[in-house]
Amino acid sequence: MKTIINIKADKETKRQAQEVARELGVPLSTVINAYLKQFVRSRQVVLSSVPRMTPALEALIGRVEADIKAGRNISPVFSSAEAMDEFLDAV
């Protein structure tokens, strides 16, 4: 038998959760039920946020990877902190 649980959630959080569930192809209620079952089985709460790269960060990383492949904008390997300081002072 099913039952109904009413919770209060921030509108934006609910909207974002529905969007992610939709992207995964499942209703939000399925996600919530899965979390409840996991909570009962494990008797622990795991809160985590998988970071997502913004388009701007992805573009920046793309430029950095291109620089690395081309050997541009790369500092030399330093044998000591003093050598690094000297290099940075000269730049």
Same domain membership, residue 4 and residue 36: yes
Same domain membership, residue 43 and residue 74: no
Same domain membership, residue 41 and residue 61: no
- Give residue 77's pLDDT: 93
Considering the chain, what is the average pLDDT of its residues?
Answer: 93
Token code pair at residue 14: 């609910």
What digits encode the pLDDT tens for the residues 40-66?
999 998 887 777 888 999 999 999 999
Distance, in Å, from the CA atom of 68 to the CA atom of 75, rounded to the nearest integer, reads: 11
Which range marks the domain in which residue 73 is found?
55-90
How many domains does the structure of the chain reveal?
2
Same domain membership, residue 59 and residue 39: no
Q: Which residues of the chain have pLDDT under 70?
A: none
Same domain membership, residue 5 and residue 44: yes
Same domain membership, residue 39 and residue 10: yes
